[in-house]
Amino acid sequence: METSDRRPVSAIVISLNEKDRIAACLESLRFADEIVVVDSGSSDGTLEVALSFTPKVFEVPWKGFGPQKQAAVDLASHDMIFCLDCDERATPELASEIADVLRRGGALPAYTVPRRTFLGSKEIRHSGWYPDRTVRLFDRRRARFSDSAVHERVVASGESGRLDHHILHYSFGGLSDLLVKMNRYTDLSAKEMFEAGRRSGISDMTVRPFLSFVKSYLLRLGFLDGVEGFEIAVAGGMHVFAKYVKLRELERKRLEAAR
């Protein structure tokens, strides 16, 4: 894309064994002035695919989602950053909207973008999954990623703007894929809570999962998403349950090691 009339932007992506998905992601980022990929040890050909799109591919040991994405930000050449995950695509409409913002100077420190998320082939419009706005375009001089190992976010030093067009999010091929990712995320969440001194009680493993289901299926209208909405609500409750059970396991191991 011509950049003489706008601020340049770097697109950043982190990866680990994403050979089957990263090409579509990077293809959607061709509007950017450069693409930076930070990989944490892929062994499936991800690096070769990434190098076919950009020479700026770096191998960085895994540090957690927040630190890993910040490492990609630090390796970028430009101050304006657009962040995308391997299971996401920037629509052409979003690319044009970003270009318009950059032509106007990108005055705000950050901009949120809505996401359309799919479970298999079904788009989920309720269940707390839409519009799922998060900061994706930002000025690295006035914003940075949190240090969180999971559920990272961009922390900006001022008001954020809002973009209208969407990121497409193909995170879950189906329920089984959702559960596989849930296992990884609950490992990370439990470790993070343990290191922060959190403790797990009976109510955390009983009441919290039930409330999670109610919030997703009823309060966030998950029932309007059909069977998939029910599956999401159940999986959400399982996520909460697994997180606190794993936290309790870490507590038990610590006590046993101290004996």
Cβ contact 114:147 at 8 Å:
no
Task: Provide the pLDDT for residue 178.
Answer: 83
Q: How crowded is residue 92: how many other Cβ atoms within 10 Å of its Cβ? A: 11
> What would the mean pLDDT of 191-202 be, rounded to a whole number?
95
pLDDT level of residue 173 (50, 70, 90 thresholds)? confident
Sign of the CA dihedral 80, 51, 21, 183?
negative
Across 40-50, b (16+ Cβ under 10 Å) vs e yields bebeeebbebb
Question: Which residues belong to CATH 3.90.550.10 in the chain?
Answer: 9-171
Q: How crowded is residue 180: how many other Cβ atoms within 10 Å of its Cβ? A: 12
pLDDT level of residue 24 (50, 70, 90 thresholds)? very high
pLDDT at 168 over 70: yes
Q: What does the pLDDT look like over 78-127, one tens digit per residue?
A: 999 999 999 999 999 999 999 999 999 888 999 999 999 999 899 999 99
What architecture is the 9-171 domain classified under in CATH? Alpha-Beta Complex (3.90)
Instruction: List helix spans (H) across 163-258.
Output: 175-195, 202-214, 227-258
Q: 102 is written with which tokens?
A: 């950059």
Whole-Å CA distances, 205 to 135, 221, 245: 31, 24, 7
pLDDT at 2 over 90: no
All residues at 6 or more sequence positions from 82 whose CB lies less than 8 Å from its CB, including other chains: 9, 10, 11, 12, 29, 32, 90, 98, 136, 137
- What is the pTM (predicted TM-score) of this model? 0.89
